Structure formats: structure tokens, C-alpha cells
A and B are shown apart, each in its own frame.
Chain A
Amino acid sequence: MKRIILIISVLLLSALFVFSGVCFAETDESADTRYQSSQAYQLTKYICENYPNRRAGLNTSVPPQNSVQEYLKGELADFGLITKYKGFQIGDNTFGFNIEARLDKGYDKQIIIGAHYDSEGQGANDNAAGVAALLMIAQELTSKQDKLNCNVVFVLFDGEELGLYGSQNYVREMSSEERDNTLVMVNIDSIANGDNLYLWCENKRTGLADLFIGQSNGAIAEKPYAKGTFNLRDVFGYGYYEFAQNSDHSSFRVQGIPIAFLFSGTYDLDPWHYAENSDVNKQVLNSSDDTFENLDKNNGAKFVEKIDAVVSTVIGTVLNGDFVSIAENQRSQLVNLNLWYNVWWPRLIVFVLFVVLVILAVFYYRKLQKKSILGTAEVKNNKVFETPEAEDIFTFK
């Protein structure tokens, strides 16, 4: 009898063990794939798979039906936003289209939240993920618009990969009043594939950066100051060059509009520079390997977490009660990028000092001339080094 009870007990335990294993396995599996049902995942996948060719430059002056422009404008309009295309010319017969959606609450001040939708190839990380984040932010802020303390303008830029065409054109069309009333331009670009999420506001500590970082709950770090900064090629008008300048926020920053740039990558791989990913094999930026399949395979749930972190950080920051006052103060904390200030002022100062030195030298020359009349013309044979003797040269000491 005891043996039967023992056998039954063992069988029961085994069955329980197997059953629990199956249950846990199912739980793990569901945890592994749960992220795939998230909005961030679905949006990124949808954009990549349905609009794999988003290269800027259409041959028509109006976006055709079933184009990515139509889809994005439609999505933003569905949230209840006032949307419109802002077309611009790229080449002789090619056109780009920024998509603007306004959440106007009647305030004087506004913020611009932007992401570019054009890409080289499928562009899952650069920048379908950023577009997905912007759509999620737009949806969320529209539903919470009563808590807003400023107007919000969402802009999906075209032609970024060709050289910030869309954003430059957008800023050019802004009136000076509109520029003055823009508290900050938040740019979301390539946020999904890197190791870490970074924020870049200014190459120094500012209140706005602190607010963003505080709202991110540790998900976002501030870009290390001065890393990847070189005094060689000034592309955008900063006076120097760094990799983090290569996106649409630069068009706004060089016009004196404060910016907050959210991007992913790492500054740990290379002691002096930015890298997209610490794993060299996962570096796909601006290549045909920047596909949704690779993004999912290389990052899994992490890329969704990054998009969600950006979305919650931007929403938390914009809805923060102190946001408007901090953002207004940001303008006074900007480093002066004025061309005159950066390029000509230091040269002018050097030139003035140089002229002063030359004048002083002329006086000194006159003094030397007077001294030479009264002075002696003795031959000076001073030497710092004594000429080595022959034995010193040929002897090892």
C-alpha cells in the first residue's frame, strides 16, 4: 500500500512539475511577445511595411493618394488636430511636404514637436520609430489638452536625409513673432536602435534639460557635453561641429529657438564620439539594414520601451506646471551661435590687440633707436651651450 501511495505521490508531483513548467513557459512566451501588441510596435511596423520607400522628393506638387503623407496627415486629423501640408521645392521638378498639425488652445506661446518621416530605405530606427512616438504623443496630448499651458504644433518633416530641407523650409516660413513665441522645438529622431536614450538641449546644463531628465525616470540621460565636438567643420552655423547637430532641431537652434533633441545611441563605445550601438553589427543608421525586421530582431522589447519612454517623457514635461516658465528661461541660457559673435568678434579682438602691440612695438623701436645712438657696439659672443670638446664627443661618459 505504501508503495502505491508513494508511486501515486511521485506521479502527482511529476504531473504538477510538468504542468507548472508548461504554465511558466506559456507565461514567459507571452511576456516575450507581449510587446508586439503595443501601440509603438504596431505603428512602427505599419509605417515600415506599408511605406518602405519614404525617400523625399515627389514628382507631384500634391501628395498622391495612399502615400505616407496621406496616411500621416489622416492619423493626425483623426486625433482632432488641424492639419495641413506645407510643401516646398527640393529640385527642379521634385517637391517635399512637411505635415503640420496644430493643437491650438489660444495661448500666445507654443512648442513644436517634430520628427522626420523621410528615410533612406525602410528606415525603421531612422525614423519610423520617431514618427510612431510623435503620433502617440499627439494622441495623448490631444486627449489631455485641458492640462496644456501652451499651444502645441506637431510637425512631420520631409527631406531631412537630403540635408534638413523640410525643417529649414519650415523655419524660413515662420514669422518673427512665431519664432519668438516658440518656447522649444522638441525633435525626435532615431530613438529605437541605440543602447541608450539621450537628450541634447545645449552644451551646458540648463533648467529645461533637468526637467526632461527628471520626467524620464532614469530612462533618458543628457548627452555628455563636448563629446563628439570638433572645431573643424561648421555645417549648420554653430561655429563648430558635432554629430548630434545632424537633425531637424539644428534648423531651429541656429535661429535662436531653444531645442530638445531626443535620440538613441552610445557614447561609451568610442571615448570621443557617438556610435549608434555598442554592438558594431547592430549599427544600421542610414543603411539598407535599417529595417523593421532587424530592429525587432536586434532589440526586441527594448525598442518599444525606448519609444514609450520618449512618449511619456515628452508628455510629462509638456504637461508639467513649471514647463512654460522653465522653457521661457531656456532662451536666456542659450550659447550665442551668432555668426558675428562666433567668427568675427574673437578675430576683431585679436586684431585690436595686434594693433595695440604693433603701436607699442613702434614706440619700443624708437626707444631702441635712441639707445643705439648712445650705446656701445661691442661684439657679443654669448652662447647658451659650450661647444663640446673633441674628447667629449668621442668619449662615452
Chain B
Amino acid sequence: MFSKLKSNYNLSNILIRILFVLTYIFMRWQDYLGSAYIMDLSAITGGYISGTAKFLLALFSAAIMGTVLMFLLPLVVNIILNIARFYSIPRAEYCLLAHLYCTIGFFVCGALNLINIITPIFLVWGSVIFPFIVTVGCFISFYLATAKLYFNDVTTVHYFKHMMIVFIVIVIGAVML
């Protein structure tokens, strides 16, 4: 199956992009659901809004955000690659790998967030620690995979330096704040 996917770039691209959006929903649905409840939607609609409707609204909102992120990610990756002056790597494939590792990260983070349904004890701690662990794990594996594929002993140093900068920005911006 994986050999078939490897030989068919377009199919892999479509599948990974779909999974990217789905896993994003899986990771963030609780937050969007919370927003749907905390916002007084009945004041806007003028009537009672059922829990199912709010749940669907949360999934829909998460799907929109996931789709936006799916399109934004290649743009950001390209900007970073241009700034770092990495011109010799296959951009489309690199972006696809970025999507793939994000997808894995979203899935793991979503699975960890399921603990919140059982007990809210980890709600506060988990919201900070889970994304950090997942970000570190995915970032390191993404770096190792891409460094092995596209960079030699000389260029890896340069690549690692830029990856560290990106990692610091992501961790400080998205996880710690």
C-alpha cells in the first residue's frame, strides 16, 4: 500500500491533505465546542440551539480553520525555504512531508486531549504540556527525515540552524504563550 502511495504523488497529496484537516478537527474540536457553548448563540438566532447543532457548528468551524491552515502551511514553508535559501530541494514533496508530520502531530495531540473527556484534571496542564511534547516529537522526526533525504554533511548544518529558529518561534508563539 505504501509503495503504491509512494509511486502516486497526487493521490498521496490529496489523502494527506484530507487527513490533515480531519486530524486538525480531531485535535481542536473540544476548543471549538467550548467556544460554541460560551458564545451566546441563542441571542443571535433568537431560539434554542441544540447541543448537536453546536457540536456540528464546532466541527464545521474546525474544518474551515483546518482547511485554511492546510493552504497556509505550504505558503509558510516556501517563505521559510526562500529566506533560508534552500533552492535545491523538491518543494512540493517537502511541503507534503510537512503536512504529513503535522497530521501525525495533530492526531497524537487529539488522542491526548481525549483525556479531558474522562476527567478535567489534566485540562490546564495538558493544554500546555501535550502540544509541547507533540511539537518536539514531530519536529525532530521531520528534521531527521528531511535532513537525511535532501541535505549532505555540509548543508545539514545550515538546515539545522534554520530549523532551530523555526522551532523556537513555534514553541514560544504557539505552545508557551
Q: Tell me the A residues contacting B by CB distance below 8 Å.
A: 203-204, 225-226, 228-233, 239-242, 269-273, 275, 280, 283, 335, 342-343, 345-347, 349-351, 353-354, 357-358, 361, 364-365, 368-369, 371-372, 374-380, 382-388, 392-393
Contact = CB atoms under 8 A, between A and B. Distances in A.
Contacts of A376: 152-154
B61 interface: no
B44 interface: no
Given A231-B116, A241-B34, A350-B128, A375 B55 contact: no
A183 to B, nearest CB: 23
Contacts of A377: 152-155
10 contacts: A231-B124, A269-B50, A346-B129, A349-B129, A350-B171, A368-B160, A371-B156, A385-B93, A388-B7, A388-B8
Contacts of A393: 10
A358 B168 contact: yes
A365 B7 contact: no
Nearest to B127: A231
Contacts of B175: 350
B10 A388 contact: yes
Contacts of A275: 51
B48 interface: yes
Interface of B: 6-10, 12, 30-31, 33-35, 37-38, 48, 50-52, 54-55, 88, 90, 93, 96-97, 116-121, 123-125, 127-129, 132, 136, 148-157, 160-161, 164, 168, 171, 175-176
Contacts of A350: 128-129, 132, 171, 175-176
A393 B37 CA distance: 47
A273 B51 contact: yes
Given A371-B153, A380-B151, A385-B93, A347 B9 contact: no
B111 to A, nearest CB: 16
Given A226-B116, A231-B34, A377-B152, A346 B128 contact: yes
Contact of A386 (B7, B35, B124, B156): B7
A233 B39 CA distance: 11
Contacts of B125: 342, 345-346
B35 A269 contact: no
Nearest to B37: A273
B157 A242 contact: no
Nearest to A354: B171
A62 B120 CA distance: 43
Nearest to B9: A385
Nearest to A232: B34
A345 B8 CA distance: 47
Contact of A387 (B9, B117, B153, B160): B9
B91 to A, nearest CB: 12
Contacts of B97: 384
A42 B37 CA distance: 36
A380 B51 contact: no
B164 A361 contact: yes
B49 to A, nearest CB: 10
A25 B40 CA distance: 47
